[in-house]
A and B are shown apart, each in its own frame.
Chain A
Amino acid sequence: MSLKYITPAERFKKYLPKDYVELVDYGPFGKTQDEAGPGNMGQFKELMEEHPMCSGCWMAYFIRLIFASLPAPEETVTLGTAGCGRLAISQAAVPFIYGNYGDQNAMASGLTRAFRIRFPEKHKDVITIAGDGGTMDIGFSMTMHSWIRGEKFTTIMLDNEVYGNTGGQESGMSPKGAILKMAPLGKKGEKMPATALAQAAGCVYTVRLSPTNIKKAAKVIRRAIFVAREVGPTFVHAYTSCNIEYSIPTEDVFADAKEKEKTRFQFEEYMTDEAKAVIDRVEAEEKAAKRAKKAEVV
């Protein structure tokens, strides 16, 4: 999409909704990460407006971070499914498709391929953002097969280790022994090895993280998107605690995320040689552009 498309003609501006005009005038479209990235996300109304999530929700923070990290929000479509996450995703200023239960990766397969038919010369970034239930339980087959088919889009799993939206049932991503609804005696099985499954299924770039470092998290999200454009499926597995179902006091949410970083969510980044080549090239280009801009200012 050309940015001209979303720029209202001056004489019609007063007839457009104020939110839309503000989005065009002050939104993140067409800006660099330095201008519109997570470091400046407080400037952007569509990212910082009140959301319907619970107080202290770590998932809501991470979703904002995803939107602040997008390399090209004006060319991005997100897909989600039932769960807490879609409440925050659907109010961001990026097109969002709400499918059926757990089918976000199947929908993204059709969407990505159809975009390639219509816009063979463009990168249209497609990102699925769903919870652990939608990605690894009900949508497991569709998630796995989209990876096995080598679909070129990014899958982001918001892993709060529980079904938060339906009242706290165990999921495949809940840790062994967790006492949750529908696991009254504690979960019997192990937490599913999501990144290992992703790698086995053909993801060319996978990351597991607890997003405590805002810059680092933004960097891996962008890497995943850049690699998906050119090479193949990418996967970001992020810890996004449910402070309600796991009884984490709001003021301790960050400390909990730090704690998880030492155990189940130790940072892990995997990339194929082809993916690494893309990352090296893109980041070198970004650095060069930054240097050029700095030189211009001086």
Chain B
Amino acid sequence: MAEAVKRANVDMAIAYPITPQSEVMHLVGDIYAQGHIKEYYRAEEELGTMSAIAGAARAGVRLFTATSGPGLLRGLEAIVSWSGHRVPAVLGILTRVVNAPLSIQPDNIEMAYMMHCGAVMLHAENQQDTFDYTLAAFAITEKVDVYIPVAVATEGFFVTHAKGYVDMTADDICLNDFDPVAAPVPAMDNETPPARIQRDAPVQKSNFMSYLIHSVWQQEIWDSNQRAMKYIYEYLGGPIEVQNPEADVFVLGSGCAAAQCREAHRYAQEEGLSVGFVKVKAIRPFPVDEIREALKNAKAVIVPEHNIIGWLCKEVKAAIPNGGIVVEGPRVYGGMTLPVELIMKEIHTALGLEYDLKL
């Protein structure tokens, strides 16, 4: 992630420690020390960090920060206002549990809290995705017809503290400088005429106009979110990956669960079972049409997840006309790994076959 930040020619990064995110911002700090980033500091806590990102965005610079689990929730009040304020920042989320009893182990339940704030959300399966998605995130967030934040999530520890080969762009190329004029709202730098604007006046009066302003603005934010989809096609080849599209049973996952789904799919291929695989890369905008098309002939869809509530499963159920075919789980949380055998058992059950589950 930090290597992508380096190539993204970031102006300013603001850090606050939390495990397992800290290392990302340590490495971003090293990049700052090397002179690749113009400003970097450790803020007082996450709300301060996310608020400072919002402040710096008004001055028209390229921004990055990252957090994890409880840190994301601490900063969420500021984060949920980023989209409405048209803050084109990239947020790294290295997932971690938030529920009591608290632990530092990974699951990705905090992503559920992020899903309704207007930000574009990408979910990386592995180290390669983390690099690719982060770099793409900067390009997407600054598109004039998008201009809302992009969050790149990946599972803490499973991805952040594991090794993987990554193909990276050359070290000596980077994104062009941030252009604060190429924006749907001008930077509040007093340099962009007309200079006297009240971009951020609140609309809290209890009258119809304020409801209307809020409503129209929110619709525009979610339209911006939808408009990000064409750039997800451009930079990531689309919001989903599909293998074996003619299959009867599908395993569908995002993030680390997609890696386990991929492995289950490989096992199934070896056994000659009619099983397909769908990886969801974009959580927002959610690829409703693409998933509907991919699953149009499916008899069952198994959605393994790394969280207790099954937010992806709910999204898939809502997206397809025959939501009853969705198999909820298997789900693991609190840092447990997701054995492929659990997915294989669901595959066999869906196909009406016996499976001797040995863990």
Contacts and interface: CB of A to CB of B under 8 A. Distances in A.
Interface of A: 1, 5-6, 16, 20, 23, 74-77, 79, 82, 86, 90-91, 93-101, 103, 106-119, 124, 141-142, 144-145, 149
B14 to A, nearest CB: 7
Contacts of B55: 79, 97, 99, 106-112, 114
Contacts of A76: 190
Given A77-B58, A111-B55, A113-B39, A93 B190 contact: no
Of A79, A111, A116, chain B has the most CB atoms within 10 Å of the CB of: A111
B58 A1 contact: no
Query: Nearest 5 CB-CB pairs, A to B?
Result: A107-B55, A110-B56, A110-B52, A114-B59, A110-B55
A99 B199 CA distance: 12
Interface stretch (B43-51, B125-133, B297-305): B43-51
Contacts of B47: 100, 103, 106, 142
A103 B48 contact: yes
A174 B81 CA distance: 30
B61 A114 contact: yes
Given A95-B188, A110-B14, A118-B189, A100 B78 contact: yes
Interface of chain B: mostly helix, strand, loop or mixed: loop
Given A90-B201, A110-B56, A114-B12, A99 B51 contact: yes
B97 interface: no
B61 A149 contact: no
Interface string B258-299: 000000000000000000000000000000000000000000
Contacts of A90: 198, 200-202
B54 interface: yes
Given A110-B52, A142-B47, A118 B59 contact: yes
A110 B53 contact: yes
B38 interface: yes
A117 B61 contact: yes
B195 interface: yes
B304 to A, nearest CB: 36
Interface in B25-53: 38-39, 41, 43-45, 47-49, 51-53
A98 B60 contact: no
Contacts of B81: 99-100
Given A114-B11, A117-B39, A106 B52 contact: yes
Contacts of B43: 106, 109, 145
A20 B196 contact: yes
Nearest to B194: A20
A99 B193 contact: no
Nearest to B180: A118
Nearest to A17: B194
Contacts of A111: 55-56, 58-59, 188
